[in-house]
Every structure is written in C-alpha cells, then in structure tokens.
Structure 1
Amino acid sequence: MTINNNLDCLLEIAEQLEQKHFLYLPADKIKQIMGEILLHYPTKETVRTFIQSWEGLGEDTFMADGGKYRQRAHAVFETVSSEQSIQLLPYQPHYQTKDYNTLNGGVARYFQEISGDFLQNEVFEALIKLAYSVFSKCKPKNYFIGVHQFRITAKEKNIGLPTPEGVHRDGVSFVFMVMASRCNVEGGETAIYDLERNKLSAFTLSETFDAAIVDDTQVFHGVSPIFRKDENIEKAYRDVLVITFKEKAAV
C-alpha cells in the first residue's frame, strides 16, 4: 500500500497534534481528507460494507473481568518509510504489558483475524493512509501498526465498557480512533488527560467517521461506559476502529 502524503490538510493536522498532543476531528473533516487521499469520496455501498463488517466479530475471550460485552478482530501491519508504504504482516497475537493494561495485560491475546475484504475496502485504505501520513510527519519513523475492530455491546440491564482498563495509555506512539457506528446507546464519552491525569478535554464520537487522534506518549485517554437507550430495541452497540502506531526499535 503506497502512500502519497503531500497534502496540506495532513500537515496542518500533524502540526496541531504536535502542539496539543490530541485532536478531535469531526466526520465532515475525515470525509474531506478521505476524498483527497483517494481522489474521490467512497461510494455509499463501500461505506455500508465498511460499517457492516463489524457484524460477526468474535468474542473477546481474554476479559479478566469476565465481561461478555466486547467483540473484536485484529491485524498487524508495518511501515517502510524508505518506500513510503504499509505492508500487512502475518497474523500475530496482541500483547500489552501490565504497566499499560492492568486488566488484560501480561498475556498474548489471540483475536479473530480481520477479514481480507475489510483490509481491501477503500474506506479502510484511506483511514490507515491518513493516520500514517499524519504520524510520519510528526515522527518520520518506521512503525508497527495494530488495527483493531471493536464492538462494545450494552446488553439488557448491563453496561458496556469501551475501555475496561480505565484511563490509560496503550504503550504505543500514536492512536487513531474512528467511529464506525452507534446503535441504541448513550454514553461513550472520550476524555483526554495529561500525564498527571488532569482532564484536558472530553467529546463524544457519535457520527460515522468522527475521530480522535492522540500522542500516546504525552496523554492518557479513556471512554465512559455505554448504556442501552431503549430497552425495547434488541441491539445496542458501539463500533469503533482503532489503529495504533508503535515505533519500531532501531536495528
């Protein structure tokens, strides 16, 4: 996947991220940038296919709290800065230390592999190119990229926890969080904190393509619980795409 990151809008976002260490980007802004990256806006069918890919995600069986409210899928890429490209790696488990994930860290976690159809969807292509272009402008390094599809459900009389580990850092360089879909839920407010855990900002990703970007080395983040809005409607969920960039160690 070759990158052309010579877009003024991406440079502006990178400069803002370097100054503030986090950004909220509304859906209209993300749509505009996707159009510039792809040279056209994705069709309604492509967007619908992107959103529908969250159906059928596998259950997260590594929840140390015993929760059954999270489904997810996972893939790993790496960047090659000399070639301005992103390459898919063979599947590998997700691992975080207990320092960064006190709930589920310390073990290799094997999740469902993200489908090839999703990875070939041009919405995903535009989003990962957007993230790479911004982060490589902030720090022109080679990165391991973790791609995570999350579905958090609010089952009858139960809450869903988008960040069950609480306010945290992910132990990476940068994190890009994009709303895919919300159905029959309220809550799910994203909050940003400085390194002393003083609250800096809060906002809710509510529309498809609302996004947040954080410099994980400089800020903490967390998302409040979600609750079922209408008990008479069976489905209640929050679907989010999270893409993490971790700087590769120098060889």
Structure 2
Amino acid sequence: MPATTHIEDLRQTIAALVKQQGYAHVSSNNAIRLLAEAIPGIEQHLPSYLEQWDHLPQDRFMADGGLYRYRRFNCLGAERRDGQMLFTSQPQRPFYQSTEFNTLNGGIERIYEGLDEQDLAHPVYRALLAASSRIIDALHPAPAWDIELHPIRTACAPGCAGEPTPEGIHQDGVDYFFAILIHRQNVEGGVSELQDEHHAQVWQAPLLNSMEFLLVDDRRMYHGVSSCLAANNAPGWRDALILNYRLPKGAPSRHASWQQG
C-alpha cells in the first residue's frame, strides 16, 4: 500500500483498493494509526486487551473433533445518527452458517458465550469498531450495518496442529470482513490466502504483527488460513479477531448503545 500522510487519505486508499481488487492488506503501523484516531494513546491499552484472549472458552462445535479452537461470538448493530455511528449490542443468538459456506461446521446452530458489556467497553474494542466502521463508510456508505465479532484463538502443540480455517478456502456469506491479527505466540505457518471468484490465488502471506489486518469483500473473494504449527517444540497460539459487516435484513431489538470514537 502506498505511504500516506493523513488518516483520511489512508482510509480512502484502503477503500479504493477493496473496490478495485476485492481486498486490502493494512500494516500494523497503519492499523495503529487508524485506531489512535478513535482512541488517542491506544497502545497503552493493548496489554489489558490481550488478557481477554486468555479467557476464551473452548469451541465445542468442531465437527473434526479438534480441541484447538477457543472463541466467543457477539452481534452488534451500527446506525448512523447525526453524523456519528451508534453501536448497539444485540441479544445473544446462536451462530449459524449454511453448509454452502461451511462444509465442516455448517448446518447447525452453534451457541457460544459472548463478550460481556465490560469487555466490549474496552478501549481497543471501541477503537476497532470506530476505525472499521469509518473504513466501511468510505467503501460502502449505508445508514446501518449488522456486525458480528468473532474473537478466535487457534492453539497448537508439538505434534498437534491448529486449524484457523478447518473448512478450507471458503466465503462467509457476509458483505465485508476484517481479519485482524491480535497476537501470535510460538507459531509457524498460519498463512493467509485470498482467491478470486475463479479460485485463482491473488494474495498469500502470514499476518505477523499485532493489529495488522485484511479487509475483504466477501462477495467477490474466497479466503483461508493454513495450519498453525508449534515452533521450538513448545505450545503456541494465533489470536485473530474477525469482524463481519453485513447490510441488515431485519430490525432486532437492541440495547447497551455507545457512540463511535
């Protein structure tokens, strides 16, 4: 991505890349700049944010029998009011994907514990929501969005790989998504791959640095992440946050609102 000086220039560059090629890769340094616009001094809040990832419950819905995944799941709404984006928590619901989009774990309702309001109020989550919604607004202006948060830890150990996307190369059935690398510890592999609608590879690289992210047009692209392997003969993990944005189809009841920024 070309170097930019102003945050708005950076945001418009990201949006233009997604419009042109279906995705944008954003470095850790630029991601931190975007987050700091919403919450100045965001770096000081990262250590306490990382602590949340040590308390993710184990995912018990892995059809391959794997015990390597830990996750939570929350649904939010975003609505533009008076020039600001207002975020609201939606009631907790099961996570469902059809087998069209998830051949491994699709076709069933998966019930996950959500982040509580105190976790969602963390400055890093506030900054992530504010920064991502501003980019989406530059890419595809809309009065409202439904947002899904998927904090996921993929663990690995010597002789036991972790699979960030055990279903393989796939789509999620949303409009846009952010795949944000939160932290890697003692991991080899975990290489992200993007393919176009013809399944031709268009991008491949590991996300390595905290807050580095991909923004992907899920309607145009396929994506996947290769196996995570333990390095140095010791356990490891890959923490990633998936933020799904989709245009709303209904108007569920909402509560616990807060504003962008």
TM-score (norm 1): 0.92
Encode CA deviations 1:96-132: one digit per residue, 9 max, x unaligned: 1111011111111111211333211111111111111
Residue matched to 2:114: 113
Residue matched to 1:240: 240
Shift of residue 9, structure 1, vs aligned partner: 2.6
Residue matched to 2:161: 159
CA distance in 1, matches of 2:230, 2:202: 27
CA distance in 1, matches of 2:63, 2:104: 6
Match for 1:163: what amino acid? T
Shift of residue 82, structure 1, vs aligned partner: 4.5
2:58–2:67 Cα contact (<8 Å) kept:
yes
Shift of residue 156, structure 1, vs aligned partner: 3.0
DSSP 3-state at the match of 2:103: coil
- Equivalences for residues 1-251 of structure 1 within 5 A: 7-38=8-39, 40-44=40-44, 46-82=45-81, 84-141=85-142, 142-231=144-233, 233=234, 235-249=235-249
4+ runs deviating over 4 angstroms: none
DSSP 3-state at the match of 1:55: helix
Encode CA deviations 1:164-190: one digit per residue, 9 max, x unaligned: 010000000001011111111100010
Shift of residue 90, structure 1, vs aligned partner: 1.4
TM-score (norm 2): 0.88
CA distance in 1, matches of 2:13, 2:139: 11
- Structure 1 gaps of 5+ residues are 1-5
1:63–1:104 Cα contact (<8 Å) kept:
yes
Encode CA deviations 1:138-168: one digit per residue, 9 max, x unaligned: 2223221000110001123111100001000
Residue matched to 2:4: none
Residue matched to 1:3: none
2:70–2:153 Cα contact (<8 Å) kept:
yes
- Structure 2 gaps of 5+ residues are 1-6, 252-261
Shift of residue 250, structure 1, vs aligned partner: 7.0
Residue-pair matches, total:
242
DSSP 3-state at the match of 1:54: helix
Shift of residue 12, structure 1, vs aligned partner: 2.4
- Tell me how large the CA RMSD over aligned residues is: 1.6
2:164–2:190 Cα contact (<8 Å) kept:
yes
